[in-house]
Structures are given as structure tokens and as C-alpha cells.
Amino acid sequence: MEKKTYPLYYGDKLMPWAKGTVVKGAKGFVFLAGTEGTNPKSHNIKLYEQEGPTFIEVLEGAEAQTRMALEKIKSWLEELGSSLDNIVKMTCYVVDPQGFPDGVGSSTTWVKARKVMNEFFKEHCPDLCWDKSPLTLDLIGVAGLGSKDLLIEIAVTAVLPDS
């Protein structure tokens, strides 16, 4: 399998997202649903069978939510036969209590999440660090997510390697 991510430059400055990724020879794709920073041990199946308040523990703060979402993404990709190295597209949905007066990219939530993402990738997949070969990434500001206190949700597409 061959995967090539094409960086995006504005002038001489490398942007923290890529313009696109081309994959040749992969045996398939993995599409992960939006993944959020909730405690997986708190999920109660009865939540989906009843109305009323949810029984999902949302972690506090953008940093903790981002790290938990990335840990789940890493685990789920490996469970499904792929890995962080094989991510070809990431979409981040961001809520910010202050809104987005200067755009989503400069929101408090995104600045905190982006720092955690880069630290996570340095630890688990250095090739995806934003100063090396940043991911193809969409950043979308939203008014709300699935639970009241969620600040970030991350969806990824990865390839299944040929071996």
C-alpha cells in the first residue's frame, strides 16, 4: 500500500492540515463514527431505551475530552485492523461556550484540543505531528454535540493496509 499526504503551505509556512491524501493499493477503508471524550465505563445501554437524562459521563474540559477521543480512536482502529498511521482524513466538530467570534481555528476549545492532538501524535504516531506531515483535516464549529457538556467530537477515515 502506498499513502502520500500532500502538505499545504501558505507562502513558506506549513499549515497544520494537509490539502489531501492519496492512497494506492489499500485493501479497504475504516470509517469511524464521531468519537467523543466520554468515559466508556459509564455508558448505560438503557440510555437508548428510555427518555430523560443520559447516563454518559462526559470528561471535563477540552484537553481531557480530546485525549479520551484519540485513545478510543487508536484502540478502535487497531481492533478493526488499521492504525493511527493509516488515517487519511480527520473531521473535528468543536463547540466553544464563547462562540466563534474570530473563527473556529482560534477558538479556546480548538487551541486546547490541537495542542493535545499534537502531543498524542508525538507519543503514538510521530509521522502525523503537525510540524512534519499533518493530516487532511476538516474543522467544523457547531452549536452542540450529542451530550450537553461535550466540546469536541472526532471522526476519522483510515485505510486497511495491504499486509
Where do the domains of the chain lie, and which CATH numbers do they carry?
Answer: 2-160 (3.30.1330.40)
pLDDT score of 117:
94
Q: Quick one: what percent of the chain has pLDDT higher than 70?
A: 90
Q: Across the chain, what does the average pLDDT equal? A: 86
pLDDT score of 42:
63
82-134 pLDDT, tens digit per residue, is 999 999 999 999 999 888 989 998 999 999 999 999 999 999 998 888 777 77
Between 128 and 137, the more confident residue is: 137
> Is 62's pLDDT higher than 90?
yes
pLDDT score of 43:
54
Helix, strand, coil in percent for the chain, rounding step 5? 30, 35, 35
pLDDT confidence bin for 38, thresholds 50/70/90: confident
pLDDT confidence bin for 55, thresholds 50/70/90: low
Closest alpha carbon to 162 in 6, 27, 13, 5:
27
Three-class secondary structure assignment of 31-71: EEEEEECECHHHCCHHHHHCCCCCCCCECCCHHHHHHHHHH
